[in-house]
Amino acid sequence: MPPFEVSLGATLLGAKESVIAPLRTILREYNVTEPQWRVMRVINDRGLTDATGLAETSLLRAPSVTRILKELEERKLIIRKTDPDDRRRMLVALSADGQAFVQETSRRMVRLLNEYSQRFGSDRLDALAAELRALSESLQDMQ
């Protein structure tokens, strides 16, 4: 077994922290956590969606998503709507304030992601992301 600092897990954690740390700095300015941002991004990308879909796509546990949605609703960044096809099911969407927040924050994130591409190389970054998705997919049934 290799030493921890060169293990796959440590390498992935280190890469994640290198990528996410500058993003967290931006989010802190808006008093938003990384999980809250992930939820808002998914809602922005998918539109009206349910908590189960949010949990799966944002890679968060359902209880965390429930808590996050409550916090975002209190801040008036999301709105809840009853599913017209199943009145027992709630759907969430970004409010106008939430949409404005995601647009403003996304502009800053895009500049940061462009810097990552310049430093590491766009082709290398695309290839790395593809390889990491392939790794995740190949290990999916082990969970």
- Digit-coded pLDDT (tens) for 31-51: 999 999 999 999 999 999 999
pTM: predicted TM-score of the whole model, two decimal places? 0.86
Q: What pLDDT does residue 96 have?
A: 97
- Two tokens, residue 115: 């810097």
pLDDT along the chain (143 residues), means of 10: 92 95 93 96 94 93 96 96 83 96 94 96 96 94 81
Q: Which domain does 53 fall in, by range?
A: 4-142
Provide the pLDDT for residue 141.
Answer: 86
Q: What total of structural domains would you count in the chain?
A: 1
Residue found by looking up tokens 């949010």 in the block: 54
CB 78 within 8 A of CB 65: no
Cβ atoms of 7 and 39 within 8 Å: the answer is no
DSSP string for 55-75: HHHHT--HHHHHHHHHHHHHT
Q: For the domain that residue 108 is a member of, what is the CATH number?
A: 1.10.10.10
Q: Write the DSSP string, the chain.
A: ---GGGSHHHHHHHHHHHHHHHHHHHHHHTT--HHHHHHHHHHHHH-SEEHHHHHHHHT--HHHHHHHHHHHHHTTSEEEEEETTEEEEEEEEE-HHHHHHHHHHHHHHHHHHHHHHHHH-HHHHHHHHHHHHHHHHHHGGG-
Letter for the amino acid at 118? Q
Q: Are 36 and 72 in contact, with CB atoms under 8 Å apart?
A: yes
Q: What is the pLDDT of residue 25?
A: 92
